[in-house]
Homo-oligomer: A and B are copies of this chain.
Amino acid sequence: MNLQQLRFICAVVRQNFNASAAADSLYTSQPGVSKQIQLLEEEINVALFVRKGKRIIGMTPAGEQIFTFAQRVVGDIENIRKVGQEFSQGDRGEFVIATTHTQARYSLPKAIKAFTERYPGVQLRLRQGNPTQIAEMLAAGEADVAIATESLNSYAGLVALPCYQWNRVVITPTGHPLLQSQPLTLEAVAAYPIVTYDQAFAGRSVIDKTFAHHRLSPNIVLSAIDSDVIKAYVELGLGIGIVAKMAYDPVRDTRLEVIDASHLFDPSTTYLALRQGTYLRGYLYTFIALYAPHLDRNTVDQALDSTVASRALLPLPSGS
């Protein structure tokens, strides 16, 4: 048994039981992958993959168990490498953040600016996607942290830490009649065509739930993954927009008017997620503290160690 064999197993599983793709992803030859897997199966005397003729189509029960261990081994090897880097060149390295457009554009810039000034030797990479893709990137080790509002909790192997709460504003073109209706009500909002986030993004689920709860059927004429796209279409007069308050910029957005809607919707919480069992480079703790000051090193470590859902343990600081 050797490490390479375990890497091969993980890659084959991750590539949906395609050994050729697995070989590509590891920059090696496909026969090598097949052979090493066969050797391992022979050594431990049990088939790991279910084959239909010559095709690999799934895992045996034994394979599934072994896969979980193999994953942990491969992760630990990565951890060992990281410890080495941390001690040999603590202020240099790579740092990949998987996040959504809205976070990247509106909530992260301040922390990222401070971070890059503090760690000029760290190569920072932003990877964008929807919350599900983000969680998968993190789980697959393609990112070091994930930041998003939806669906980061309840993903096996990940730990989600609450960062901050936020709520929504309604944005309209200048001179829109809705600006007259004070105070703002859900009914008034539902009377106009609406532009807001896509299903998977930025607390859209809260918006849907709120309308449904009040037995309102809003006319959502356009949904987008991107606050800037929403704002553009609102400017064009396609409808009124519901976006995160942080996405409205009073300086830039002069062709829009804004009405606070915090009283209409439950607040949403943005989470920062980490893979369980990973060694965190020192600068990662620094970044997390820059982004969410209540998440100090001890808090993060405790959350990473605990098996139980960490959200309950962590009080969220008030307001923002």
Q: Residues of A at under 8 Å CB distance from B?
A: 1-3, 6, 43-46, 60-62, 65-66, 69-70, 72-73, 76-77, 79-81, 83-89, 279, 305-308
A interface majority secondary structure: helix
A282 CB to nearest chain B CB (Å): 12
- In the A-B complex, the 10 residue pairs with the closest CB atoms: A44-B84, A62-B87, A45-B88, A69-B76, A46-B87, A46-B84, A65-B83, A46-B88, A73-B76, A69-B79
Known pairs A2-B2, A76-B76, A306-B307 / 17 extra A-B pairs, C-beta < 8 Å: A1-B3, A2-B3, A3-B3, A44-B80, A44-B81, A44-B84, A44-B85, A44-B88, A45-B84, A45-B88, A45-B89, A62-B83, A69-B79, A69-B80, A70-B76, A72-B76, A306-B308
- Residue pair A72, B70 in contact (C-beta under 8 Å): no
- Residue pair A70, B80 in contact (C-beta under 8 Å): yes
A159 CB to nearest chain B CB (Å): 12
A213 CB to nearest chain B CB (Å): 37
Q: How far is the CA of A61 from the CA of B84 in the complex (A)?
A: 11
A133 CB to nearest chain B CB (Å): 28
Whether A77 contacts B279 in the complex (CB less than 8 A), given A62-B86, A86-B62, comes out as no
Q: How far is the CA of A279 from the CA of B69 in the complex (A)?
A: 9
Cβ-neighbour of A1 out of B6, B46, B77, B308 (below 8 A): B77
Whether A69 contacts B84 in the complex (CB less than 8 A), given A1-B77, A3-B3, comes out as no
Q: Give chain B residues whose Cβ lies under 8 Å from the Cβ of A2.
A: 2-3
A241 CB to nearest chain B CB (Å): 45
Q: Give chain B residues whose Cβ lies under 8 Å from the Cβ of A308.
A: 306
Q: Give chain B residues whose Cβ lies under 8 Å from the Cβ of A81.
A: 1, 44
Smallest CB gap from A77: residue in B: B1
